[in-house]
Amino acid sequence: MPVVTRFAPSPTGFLHIGGARTALYNWLFAQHHARHGDGGTFLLRIEDTDRARSTQAAVDAIYDGLSWLGLDWDGDAISQFERADQHRAAAERLLAEGKAYKCYCSPDELSAMREAARAEGRKRMYDGTWRDRDPSEAPAGVDPVIRLKAPQDGETVIEDLVQGRVTVANEQLDDMVLLRADGTPTYMLAVVVDDHDMGVTHVIRGDDHLTNAFRQTQLYLALGWETPVFAHIPLIHGADGAKMSKRHGALGVETYRDDGFLPEALCNYLLRLGWSHGDDEIISTEQAIEWFGLDSVGKSPARFDLAKLTNLNGHYIREADDGRLVDLVMERLEQAHPGKLAKEARDRLFKGMAGLKERAKTISELTENSSFYAIQRPIEMTEKAAGHLGPEGSALLRDLRPVFADAESWSDEALMAAAKNFAEAGGIKLGAVAQPVRAALTGNTVSPSVFEIMDVLGREETLGRIDDALGGP
């Protein structure tokens, strides 16, 4: 049977890191089965029934976040709110078949029932007052809710692909509300109807939904529909084991993008948060599709570690295509320094990227470290860098300038050789020579090799920056 998965976020905020992992697992499961001949489809449903909190901006953020991660869904995204008629029709059918009933309890009556249940230690909060009551007893002018007439004995069983066999005694479950008094469908009803109508075969989601699965299973059975296969994955915790919060990194996907993380690095990291393939840590998207299965998802909560994600991102930056990195850096530089970039900026970045990316762990860091290549003269200098251009450093730089100016070959090897000869002749260390040059060329004290930088900048720009540092030619 072809596999159909879905990701069903609520558009009440950003696409958070836990939601991104859920989407990734659903996407990979569908992709894996599509590749191996079973057929696999990944659908997107926006659960926007909470009209007061749902916003178009949040919907757009979900689309944008999924697209950035490369998790493309099949077909058009479905709006749950727009399917309210289908949800109501299902409830009305159950009512007509005697599998649901109208409940006229007031809020005060329901509150009293809950208090009594808690006092008696019962998990079922609703006592079934209107379950078998004659509708003729209905109070006038009261709009009822519609409740499912759930089984009261026996148990509901879920064969979960992650959690294993999970059961609950039916006496612990309420007759849940399907339609509110104003006719709007509840979340439980909408999810079941939508998953059925969309042909979803596997519901892969966080284990905070496990209790919902029991009620939803009862509803599937009442409607005479085949129940999908459930797989409830443990939630993500912070590095300290506490529930994930903003201080742990529970932020929107767009925050990680803005902070300079690559989508493939984030996907690789999220994949390994709860799933494993031996000792493999670096797993490409192609490998993930080939290997992914729910049998390798652990039962314990995974711990999010920003330092590990950052280190992994550094690996992906080192492996990334130089042209792609240049595009990402140029976009940020143009935003940060409008009108201040040299016309040669892109060419310099491309030529120097191999040396730059070895030192960076995020695109933000890469942008900051490479800005000296792109900015027009005169470049700004940090206080620490300026310290290398005191009387002694400036004197060295002034003596070095003609050495570089007269270099027959402008390559990093030839320039290094010239600097070594200069240092040896003066009885000084090469590092003492390199630091004032680095300060003049980059405005900083840390950079790739100064001779590589000179090669990238070219003779004219290099000498011009040295002149700037010395106060003019």
Evaluate the omega torsion of the peptide bond into residue 378 and state whether it is cis, within 30 degrees of 0. Answer: yes
Locate the domains of the chain by residue range.
3-77+236-312, 82-233, 320-370, 383-469
Return the axis-axis angle of helices 412-426 and 391-405, rounded to nearest 10°. 130
- Phi-psi category of residue 96: left, alpha or beta, with phi > 0 → left and psi -120 to 50 → alpha: alpha
CB 247 within 8 A of CB 253: no
- The helix (run of H) or strand (run of E) holding residue 27 is helix 17-35
Dump pLDDT digits (tens) for 148-202: 999 999 999 999 999 999 999 999 999 999 999 999 999 999 999 999 999 999 9
What does the pLDDT read at residue 247? 60
What does the pLDDT read at residue 461? 97
Report CA Rg, the chain.
32
Angle, alpha carbons 223-229-235 (nearest 5°): 115
The residue type of 4 is V
Q: Is the pLDDT of residue 245 over 80?
A: no
Closest-CA residue to 178 (of 295, 114, 92, 112) = 92
Range list of β-strands (E), 145-276: 145-148, 155-160, 164-169, 177-179, 202-206, 229-233, 236-238
Query: Percent of the chain, pLDDT > 90?
Result: 83
What does the pLDDT read at residue 132? 87
Closest-CA residue to 437 (of 455, 25, 426) = 455
Dump pLDDT digits (tens) for 57-86: 999 999 999 999 999 999 999 999 999 999
Count Cβ neighbours within 10 Å for each residue of 192-214 and write b for 16 or more, e otherwise.
bbbbbebebbbbbbebeebebbb
Integer Cα distance of 200 and 231 in angstroms: 13
Range of weakest confidence among 120-124, 312-316, 344-348: 120-124
Q: Copy the structure tokens of residue 358.
A: 């070895």
Residue with tokens 């080939």: 290
Q: DSSP character for 181?
A: T
Integer Cα distance of 22 and 7 in angstroms: 7
Residue with tokens 């990093």: 412
Dump pLDDT digits (tens) for 257-306: 999 999 999 999 999 999 999 999 999 999 999 999 999 999 999 899 99
Q: Is the pLDDT of residue 434 over 60?
A: yes
Dump pLDDT digits (tens) for 321-366: 999 999 999 999 999 999 999 999 999 999 999 999 999 999 999 9
- Summarize the confidence of residues 113-134 as an average pLDDT: 81
Closest-CA residue to 202 (of 1, 63, 45, 9) = 1
What does the pLDDT read at residue 107? 84
Query: Percent of the chain, pLDDT > 70?
Result: 98
Closest-CA residue to 313 (of 249, 375, 374) = 249
Q: Is the pLDDT of residue 44 over 80?
A: yes
Q: Under 8 Å CB-to-CB from 374, ≥6 apart: which residues?
A: 330, 333, 337, 341, 342, 345, 346, 348, 349
- Summarize the confidence of residues 36-46 as an average pLDDT: 92
Could you tell me which CATH number the domain at 3-77+236-312 has? Answer: 3.40.50.620
Q: DSSP character for 43?
A: E
CA atoms within 13 A on the CB side of 55: 8
Domains 3-77+236-312 and 82-233 share a fold: yes
- The helix (run of H) or strand (run of E) holding residue 101 is strand 100-103
- The helix (run of H) or strand (run of E) holding residue 187 is helix 187-197
Residue among 246, 351, 357, 429 flagged as catalytic: 246
| Bridge partner residues of 341 (DSSP) | 375
CB 304 within 8 A of CB 239: yes
Integer Cα distance of 344 and 155 in angstroms: 72
- Summarize the confidence of residues 419-441 as an average pLDDT: 93
Q: Is the pLDDT of residue 120 over 80?
A: no
Q: Under 8 Å CB-to-CB from 54, ≥6 apart: which residues?
A: 10, 11, 12, 48, 81
CB 222 within 8 A of CB 175: no
DSSP secondary structure letters along 322-336: HHHHHHHHHHHHHHH
The residue type of 151 is P
CB 166 within 8 A of CB 160: yes
Average pLDDT, the chain: 93
Q: Is the pLDDT of residue 430 over 70?
A: yes
What does the pLDDT read at residue 127? 83
Candidate CATH numbers 1.10.10.350, 1.20.59.10, 2.90.10.10, 3.40.50.180; the one for domain 383-469: 1.10.10.350
Q: Is the pLDDT of residue 250 over 70?
A: no
Range of weakest confidence among 7-11, 119-123, 374-378: 119-123
Q: Is 340 known to be catalytic? A: no
Q: Copy the structure tokens of residue 180.
A: 């509110």
Residue with tokens 């002749």: 425
Integer Cα distance of 7 and 13 in angstroms: 15
Could you tell me which CATH number the domain at 82-233 has? Answer: 3.40.50.620
Higher pLDDT, 347 or 140: 347
| Confidence class for position 249, pLDDT limits 50, 70, 90 | low
- Summarize the confidence of residues 393-397 as an average pLDDT: 94
What does the pLDDT read at residue 246? 59
- Summarize the confidence of residues 424-438 as an average pLDDT: 93
What does the pLDDT read at residue 472? 66
Q: Copy the structure tokens of residue 304.
A: 């999010």
Length of the chain equals 473
Q: Copy the structure tokens of residue 109.
A: 């009556």
Task: List C-alpha distances in Å: 208 to 9, 25, 59, 232.
Answer: 14, 16, 22, 8
